[in-house]
Structure 1
Amino acid sequence: MHLFKMSALAALGATVLVSAAMAQEIDTLRKIKESGTIHIGNRDSSVPFSYKPTGSGDPVGFSNDICLKIVDAVKAKLGLPALRVQYTLLNSLNRIPLIQNGTVDLDCATTTNSVVRQQQVAFAPSHFVTNITVAVKKKSGITSLADLAGKSVATVAGSTSIQLLRSFRRTENLEVQEISGKDTADAFLLLASDRAVAYVLDDVQLAGLIAVSPNPGDYVILKDVVLRQEPYGIMLRKNDAPFQALVDQTVTQLMKSGEMERLYARWFTQPIPPSNININFPMTDAVREAYRNPSNKGV
């Protein structure tokens, strides 16, 4: 009986491995041509990268615009001017599995390009570089990570922010209570409602969430607190050289032509929908360097 169970488990494990391998070997361009549809992964609240201004309809944003440029390149490559774009809402927990199994072709949001993730998926050249930091309410009086001792801290489930916070806690022997939100907006509500005194996330996403909040003047980002600098990249399947080449070429051309800087200005230094709020997040030296020397390198 035990031998049978062991054999069954071994067979199941082999099936899972084969399925994973097959998922990685999807010919994306062929899949798109046969279906007439390209599938883009989006977020509903990652301002200004990928979000829905009115809560419905197609998403907009900086990362979304980059992916639509990739869609144009796919249309030209395949001779499909009427190529359909199908959006799928992703989160930190399902984005990699849905890329791997072929449900989504491009993840167009705020995914950090990490060495660990590169074992599962591929990335386009980085289109943004951010700092993982902390937002608090001004009235809290918190100015450093040490001030968080014994307090509740909000993070996003499945994000690199959680890993960095836990690493800092172990290194510095800092005791805090983690409270996870299912996405960036959900985690911000934990801070806004005082269920958490701080929110650990990428500085640019914190700036976006604060800008569109009812009382943006209530919050401050601790810009001198940096847990790590991280690059964002459009995520796609591994081991798909033709599609990877098309994506890389398109994103690199956006950077070299200056179009990427124009897209950046549109979303970070000008009023954006739905309320015409200006996030006022000028391009950093790290982002400029990413555009001067396009790279898929992860952290």
Structure 2
Amino acid sequence: MRTRNCWLRALGACLLLAGEAAHAGAVLDRIRASGQITFAHRESSVPFSYLDANKRPVGYAIDICLRLAEAVRREIGAKALTPRFLMVTPANRIQSIAEGKADLECGSTTNNAERRKSVAFTVPHYIAGARLLVRADAKIDDVAQLNGKRVVSTQGTTPLKALQQLGRDRLLDFKIAEVPEHTRGVEMVERGEAEAFVMDDVLLYGLVASRPEPGKLKVVGKYVTVEPLAIMLSKDDADFKRIVDDEMKRLIRSREINPIYDRWFLSPIPPRNTALNLPMSYLLKDFWKVPTDVVWF
């Protein structure tokens, strides 16, 4: 019986190793075989990942992903690597990476412990915080003033979960509406269908800048959350992650990432050629002093 049990344990270990080997290199193998790298992108996560007037994916995270793709191309010795784009939503973006439909998610996704169960993240490219978007004439500057009022946030996002938790912790009776994309949340505030839209402040500024009448909206309130935003990738290819992490760290340490940041946060951007005028925060500068994919959230 003891011999049989030892044999079964050995067989189980072999099967486990075989399973791990089947996953190892899966992303790089797919990229080598196809000559393509697939970017998951967003429709309206300004200025990280969104569609311009010609419906082309553009943004800060897209530009970073293009640099990461070039590092992958050099590493695998390919003459060329064609970017392929797959539009995702907050609800299906994690699934798109976990199921291998995309290789990099180039957006505004928060790296947190729950998501790390399914996917991996590289070094954060932005540190954001969730705040409130309200109408310019609204007398609201704090979450507590939304008690009993209708509030909107985007499905599958950490600000939505934080809002729900805040309501429980502070006994606030929010009437929370969930929308599939950020633009719809802004529209609800504009039309008076909701008193506030809760989302990462940088996204709110970008969304306001893209509206026909940006002066009718304002971003208010203290931070509801602190969000390390990072590019998402598969957990199942250590070599691919090493290439991505090494290139992110190189871009940060060499400061080659700074002009990319300036292009999207300090200069006029599509579609209305409006500048967000958001200098790099001290939070991000401090985090980049020792760039790492490790975050304590």
Which AA in structure 2 matches 1:45?
S
Is 1:247 matched with 2:262? no
Alignment match, 2:15: none
Which AA in structure 1 matches 2:243?
L
Which AA in structure 2 matches 1:30?
D
Which AA in structure 2 matches 1:50?
S
> Is 1:24–1:237's contact at 8 Å kept on the other side of the alignment?
no
Q: Which of 284, 288, 295 is the equivalent residue of 2:292?
A: 295
> Is 1:53–1:274's contact at 8 Å kept on the other side of the alignment?
yes
> Per the alignment, in what secondary structure is the counterpart of residue 58 of structure 2?
coil
Alignment match, 1:282: 279
> Is 1:47–1:61's contact at 8 Å kept on the other side of the alignment?
yes
Task: Output the CA distance in 1 between the equivalents of 2:243 and 2:201.
Answer: 30
Q: CA RMSD for the aligned pairs?
A: 1.6
| Residues 211-240 of structure 1: CA deviation (Å, up to 9, x unaligned) | 111111111111x41111110010001131
> Is 1:132–1:161's contact at 8 Å kept on the other side of the alignment?
yes
Identity score, percent: 34
User: Paired residues, what number?
Assistant: 278
Alignment match, 1:163: 161
Task: Output the CA distance in 1 between the equivalents of 2:86 and 2:279.
Answer: 30
Q: Which of 226, 229, 233 is the equivalent residue of 1:229?
A: 226
Task: Output the CA distance in 2 between the equivalents of 1:55 and 1:172.
Answer: 45
| Residues 162-221 of structure 1: CA deviation (Å, up to 9, x unaligned) | 110011000110001111110111221111211111010000000000111111111111
Q: TM-score, normalised by structure 1?
A: 0.89
Alignment match, 1:122: 120
Task: Output the CA distance in 2 between the equivalents of 1:24 and 1:173.
Answer: 46
In structure 2, relative to structure 1, the CA distance for the partners of 1:170 and 1:21 (3 Å cut) is farther
Task: Output the CA distance in 1 between the equivalents of 2:137 and 2:261.
Answer: 32
Which AA in structure 1 matches 2:246?
Q
Q: TM-score, normalised by structure 2?
A: 0.90
> Per the alignment, in what secondary structure is the counterpart of residue 200 of structure 1?
strand
Task: Output the CA distance in 2 between the equivalents of 1:55 and 1:23.
Answer: 40
In structure 2, relative to structure 1, the CA distance for the partners of 1:23 and 1:130 (3 Å cut) is farther
Task: Output the CA distance in 1 between the equivalents of 2:54 and 2:165.
Answer: 35
Task: Output the CA distance in 1 between the equivalents of 2:76 and 2:20.
Answer: 26
> Per the alignment, in what secondary structure is the counterpart of residue 65 of structure 1?
helix
Structure 1 residue ranges (4+ consecutive) displaced by more than 3 angstroms after TM superposition: 20-26
Unmatched 5+ stretches in structure 1: 1-19
Q: Which of 90, 98, 102 is the equivalent residue of 2:96?
A: 98
Which AA in structure 2 matches 1:274?
P
Alignment match, 1:47: 46
In structure 2, relative to structure 1, the CA distance for the partners of 1:145 and 1:81 (3 Å cut) is same
Unmatched 5+ stretches in structure 2: 1-18
Q: CA deviation at 1:79?
A: 2.0
> Per the alignment, in what secondary structure is the counterpart of residue 28 of structure 2?
helix
